[in-house]
Amino acid sequence: MKDKVALITGASSGIGRATAEAFAAHGARLVVAARRQDELDSLVAAIEAQGGTATAIRTDVSSAAEVERMVAHAIASFGRLDYAVNNAGIEGRFAPITELTEADWDQVLGINLKGVFLCMQHQARAMLAAGNGGAIVNVGSVNSFLGVATGSVYCTSKHGLIGLTTSVSAELAAQGIRVNLVCPGLVDTPMHRRLRGEFGDALFDQGVLPSVHLRRAGLPQEIAQAILFLCSDAASYITGTTLTPDGGLTLTV
């Protein structure tokens, strides 16, 4: 991946940050995007301290104008776009369907699903214009195929990524652009820690972890390696598929 260019959204923490660090370690030049500029600046400094190359751009992926600006920044900075990882996402409000508001729905769908649509649209345009192919990885969740009580908005946003990923894969494969979906399970990220604070440790330690074959939460770096693989030439015959690094969670009956 030396001198290739990777664009990663939601890069300020968790899986996104670990993915940026993994790409940089393999020689890629990075464009990192998120809503928190201070954390992006910290990430760029860390990558550069290790001899890597990175640039940051604050982006709200639910805004078409900001997404267009983000991709234009990548091309202006490095002249190309080879890999895109659409990781930006929020958990939103977990509440019974009878209590959710239209604003709750719009906020989560706007970032988690519309945001990926907008990113893929502009990333694909840039890759097609260059004619060099590329790889796009969207980040879903085991909740892309598992529902959970009070999680209807979040689960809907992640379910939608399966249809979006497979459809766009079918569109772009002939032009050498591969599109895949990674659906992590329980991963030790800031989002996971926020949910623990909201629902309590017992829900996860006694309710979820016993169903994880490896009996532990994953690390962001482990998910980053799955994403790195799907972008790499080692995955040259893989497109339109879902990879589920979940420690065996979804295999338990």
pLDDT in tens, 193-244: 888 888 888 888 888 889 999 999 999 999 999 999 999 999 999 999 999 9
The angle that helices 114-130 and 152-172 make with each other, rounded to 10 degrees, is: 20
pLDDT of residue 253: 54
pLDDT of residue 198: 81
Rounded to whole angstroms, what are the CA distances from 214 to 58, 154, 195? 36, 25, 21
pLDDT of residue 74: 98
Q: Secondary structure of the chain: what % helix, strand, coil (to 5)?
A: 55, 15, 30
Q: What is the mean pLDDT of residues 107-132?
A: 98
Q: Which residue has the tokens 């600046």?
A: 41
pLDDT-derived band at 103 (thresholds 50, 70, 90) equals very high
What residues are paired with 58 via a beta bridge? 34
pLDDT of residue 87: 98
Q: What is the pTM of this model?
A: 0.95
Q: What is the mean pLDDT of residues 97-123?
A: 98
Catalytic residues: 154
CA diameter of the chain:
52
pLDDT in tens, 136-165: 999 999 999 999 999 999 999 999 999 999
pLDDT of residue 146: 93
Domains, the chain = 5-251 (3.40.50.720)
Distance between CA atoms of residues 51 and 131, nearest Å: 29
